[in-house]
Structure 1
Amino acid sequence: MAATTQDRNTPMKDGELIVVPVAAGVKIPAGSLVAANATGFATPGATATTLAYLGMADTNVDNTAGADGAVGVPVRRGKAFKWANDTGDPVTQASLGRPCFIVDNQTVAKTNGTNTRSQAGIVVGLEADGVWVI
């Protein structure tokens, strides 16, 4: 398709709340960290190198008995979410504006754990009870 030289009525939708097909055999609790696995299906955050951070599950979804994509999970994006700070590899104030990494479905860490963790997002704040990530 050639580049347009005319005005274009481009379709759009809000990307703040998206519904993502869920991976087979998983349960995603409401309020938990959601990632896309290597095949593009929603999965709980975990220590793995093949995940892409998506955001926070807006509701509880149980696909433990279903195939890939049998159900979808609404995922909230574009906001800063407060995740737990890993005690073994804590995010520090020096991490502000830098990436942090997924440990599990509610926890982030400062480093990639010697190339064992996927990036969660960018640290935008740090409090005693968690790390704000966007």
Structure 2
Amino acid sequence: MTAQTTDRKVDGLGHDPIARRFRLPVAAATLLYSGALVMGDATGYAANAVEGAGNGDLVVHGIACKRVDNSAGTAGALSVDVERTLADFTNGTGTNAITIADVGRMAYAIDNQTLSRHNGGNTRPCVGRIHSITDAGRIMVEVGSHAAGAPAGSSSDRDVVLAAGADLSAAQFHFVKLDGSGDVVLCSAEGEEPLGVLQNAPAAAAPAIVRYEGVTQLVGSAALAVGARVATTNAGRAKAAVTGRTDTSDAGAANDALLGSHAAAILLGAISGNGVAAKALLRFSGSVPQTAS
């Protein structure tokens, strides 16, 4: 999609407590359109929401209430009224496309009117919580909700997008790792250290979205209780992490290996059996074993 280049009227829905207006100084050489998404740039000035290196550390404050043309001005020469509200925006395409499964999660800005379900490897500012999808396919978002009452951890989810090194169409919400070429493949050894958890279901060579920080769904290999510290099986599913221990069966202490799992997550919900998913908090913790088991 392309960025917004004309003004539009936005009708906020309801009387959500996050809806409020405030004024921000506008960045230099910047034209803001009415109804467009406005982020704070690295120096705090109002700018058009856009993806770019490091922009995942920025946030969208709201939508511009009116057109402000500071194209020929210095930073702060003009100000813009910004509103946090519930409004509709254009959906991204491909791996960026938001679906009904993403309702309640955070949306990220590709440009000042187009949204994505992930932050593009920390290149896209957080817009707010996804509210719903209209019959016309527009994405309703609580713009600015990351700053007012977002669920804990939602705005801190971090994904990286890499090429799939194999067909991962059946591996959504499984632990994955990098192969020798730097592509994403399913974890294949008990207790090994994963890169993160796969968020989509890509074919070979297609973009693979891997969550390495935050909350994710995670498929288990057996019944596991809430709060269980988990590691990967040789098929990328969650299992109870094996407690680390020192192998003293060798000839000398200098060669004593640390045995155990690379604990990668803590379950926030119970898993009832093999192939069942539950929410988990990614937490790569504990001492790193020399030999995984």
TM-score, L = length of structure 2: 0.39
Contact 2:107/2:118, CA 8 A, preserved across alignment: yes
Q: Which whole-Å deviations, capped at 9, do the CAs of 1:17-57 have from their partners, x for residues lacking one?
A: 11110000110011111111111100001013143111111
Corresponding position of 2:43: 39
In 1, the alpha carbon distance for the partners of 2:72 and 2:124 equals 27
- Identity of matched residues, %: 36
Q: Which whole-Å deviations, capped at 9, do the CAs of 1:76-102 have from their partners, x for residues lacking one?
A: 11x211111012311111111101111
In 2, the alpha carbon distance for the partners of 1:84 and 1:33 equals 11
Runs (4+) of structure 1 exceeding 6 A deviation are: none
Corresponding position of 2:31: 27
Larger radius of gyration between Structure 1 and Structure 2: 2
Q: Pick one of 139, 147, 157 that aligns with 1:131.
A: 139
- Secondary structure, in 3 states, of the residue corresponding to 1:94? helix
TM-score, L = length of structure 1: 0.83
Q: Pick one of 119, 132, 135 that aligns with 1:112.
A: 119
Is 1:97 aligned to residue 101 of structure 2?
A: no
Q: Pick one of 70, 83, 89 that aligns with 2:89.
A: 83
Equivalent AA in structure 2 for residue 31 of structure 1? G
> For structure 2, which runs of at least 5 residues remain unmatched after alignment?
1-18, 143-293
Contact 2:49/2:125, CA 8 A, preserved across alignment: no
In 2, the alpha carbon distance for the partners of 1:51 and 1:28 equals 17
